[in-house]
Every structure is written in C-alpha cells, then in structure tokens.
Amino acid sequence: MKSSYAKVSLVAMSLTLCSGAVLAQQPMTDQGKLEYDTNCAVCHGPGGKGDGSLQPLLRVSATDLTQLAKKNQGILPVTRMYEVIDGAGVPSHGSRDMPIWGRTYQSENAQNLLEARGNYDAQALVRARILVLIEYINRLQAR
C-alpha cells in the first residue's frame, strides 16, 4: 500500500513540476512590440528606421524612430511622442500625415465595450496602449 501511495505521489509531483516547467517556458507577450508591429511597422519599418513597406507610397518619409533621443540631446521626447501618437492638439482641419492613433484606439475600445459589455476605463486603456508603444520605441533607440 505504501509503495502505490509513493508511486502516485511521485507521479503527481512529476506532473506538477513538468507543468510548471511548461508554464515557465511560455514567453510573455511583448505588448509594445505587438502594438508597434500592428500599427507602426508598415510605415516606420520593422526596426523603426523609417523603411516600412508603405514608404514608397508616403508623401512625407516616415520618421526614423531609432534617432528620436539622439536628435533631442539624448533624451527621448516622451511627452511629444505621446501627443503625436494620441493626436492631442491636432486641429480637426489641419494637415497631418500620420494617423491619429488615439482616435483609432478610442473607436476600437468602444467596439470592444459593446461586444464585451464590460466595465473598464476606456481612456486608461488608450493611455496604456500609447505608453507601451512609447516604451517599445525607447528600446529601438540607437545607443
């Protein structure tokens, strides 16, 4: 009886350790990279150099995002980046080549809210998406 109990315990422990190892091996999703790849890479390129697949079709060349800090005395212009991505302060009839992602995120959030009927702060979600994107662009900076 003790032998079968010991075998069951050993098998249970092995399964627990194996499942823990499998869970530990699953990579975490890089939300900033996902946001970038989904919305930015087509113009700014996979490495942020401004060489995206739509580059030949753009009226104004996409910014080389890897040089933002270098062009700003080594400091990433986070506030300006946030404003540009969000579209804050952009006149409704002004010219702008880059899409206003803040509005796009708001629309997506409204659609998600309708589908999920969940209770969450849509503005906070927009801010989070923009901030993880800025954090990812920070990692792209030429050092």
pTM: predicted TM-score of the whole model, two decimal places? 0.69
Could you give the CA distance from residue 115 to residue 17 in angstroms, rounded to a whole number? 38
Q: Give me the pLDDT at residue 16, please.
A: 55
Instruction: Please check whether residue 69 is in contact with residue 75, taking contact to mean a CB–CB distance below 8 angstroms.
Output: yes
Q: Where are the domains of the chain?
A: 29-140
Instruction: State residue 78 phi and psi, 5-degree precision.
Output: -60, -45
The confidence score (pLDDT) of residue 139 equals 97
Cα dist from 104 to 33, 85, 86, 99, 109, whole Å: 18, 10, 9, 8, 9
Q: Which two tokens stand for residue 10?
A: 């050993």
- pLDDT tens, position by position, 40-73: 999 999 999 999 999 898 888 899 999 999 999 9
> Can you give the length of the chain in residues?
143
The pLDDT of residue 102 is 64
Give pLDDT, residue 97.
Answer: 64
Are residues 97 and 84 in contact, defined by beta-carbon separation less than 8 angstroms?
A: no
Low-confidence ranges of the chain (pLDDT < 70): 1-26, 89-120
**The pLDDT value given to residue 92:** 47
Joined together, the tokens standing for residue 83 give 């404003």
